Amino acid sequence: MSSMSNVVLVHGWSMHSGMWGPFVDTLGESHRVTCLDLPGHGHAPMVEEFNLRSISEVLLGAAPEKASWIGWSLGATIVMHLARYFPERVEGIALLAGNAKFVADDEWPSGMELSLLRRFGANLIEDNRGAVLRFLSLQAQGSPATKHQLKELRERLDSRSSPIESALLGGLDILEHADSRRALKNLQCPTLLLYGELDTLVPVAAGEAMKALCPKARLHVVKGAGHLPFYTHTEETASVVKAFLKAYRV
C-alpha cells in the first residue's frame, strides 16, 4: 500500500534486529517496517568508535528519509538522540522500556545501580558470551516469559553473529553517561512511552518521571509484562503502537 508510513526499529544492548520477532510482522500489516542492527551487532559492521554520533550516522544512512522511530531500551536512548538532533528525519517516536537516564542517582532514582551496570562491563572482559546470556535472562525477570520462550529468545540471539566486544562496551558507556532529560523536555514530535508493569531493569516509575518531563507524551503500561513487552505481549504492544502511529498520520 502506497499510503503506508515508514517505521524504523532500533534494538537494545547486546541484541540484534532479529529479536523483534512476530512484533515486526504484526506492525508490518499496516506500516513499512525497517529493522536496523546497531554497528557491531547482528549483520552490521562495526564503526571506528561506538557512540551516539557514529550510530546516528549509520542508522540515518540506512533509514527512509522520513520515518517514525521505535527504540527498545538502549535503542530508546538512541531514538531520543535522533529526535533531538535530527528532527527533520523523525515523525514520531515510541520508546519501549526506555529511560531518559539509565543510571540512578539522587535526582533520578528510577534507574539501574551504577555498580550493576559496571559489573556487566567487567563480566564482558571475562566472558563475553556469558555476560550477554545473563543479560538476556535478566531482561526476562519479572515477566511471564516461560522456559520455552527464553529458549526461543536464546535461539534468536544465536541466529546472528555475537556482538563485537567494543560495541558492547560502547553501549554500556552510552547507558552510563547519556542523559536525555533535556531532550525529552523539549521534544516537538509525538511521543509514546511504553513500559512493562513488572520490568526490573526500567521500572514504570521511569516512564512516569519521563511523562512529567514531557506532558504531551502518551504513557502506556503493559500489565504483566517485563522488559520485553513486544515479545511477551506482542498483540497489545503492537496495537498500542499502531494506534499511536495512526493518531498523527494524515
Q: What is the pLDDT of residue 75?
A: 98
Q: What backbone phi and psi angles, to 5 degrees, belong to 191?
A: -135, 130
Q: What is the pLDDT of residue 144?
A: 62
Q: What is the pLDDT of residue 132?
A: 85
Tally DSSP H helices, then E strands, for the chain: 11, 6
Q: What percent of the chain has pLDDT over 70?
A: 96
Q: Which residue's C-alpha cell is 556482538?
A: 163
What are the tens digits of pLDDT across the range 60-90?
Answer: 999 999 999 999 999 999 999 999 999 999 9
Q: Amino acid letter at 46?
A: M
Q: Is the pLDDT of residue 250 over 70?
A: no
Instruction: List active site positions.
Output: 73, 199, 227
What are the tens digits of pLDDT across the range 87-140?
Answer: 999 999 999 999 999 999 999 999 999 998 998 888 888 888 888 888 888 787
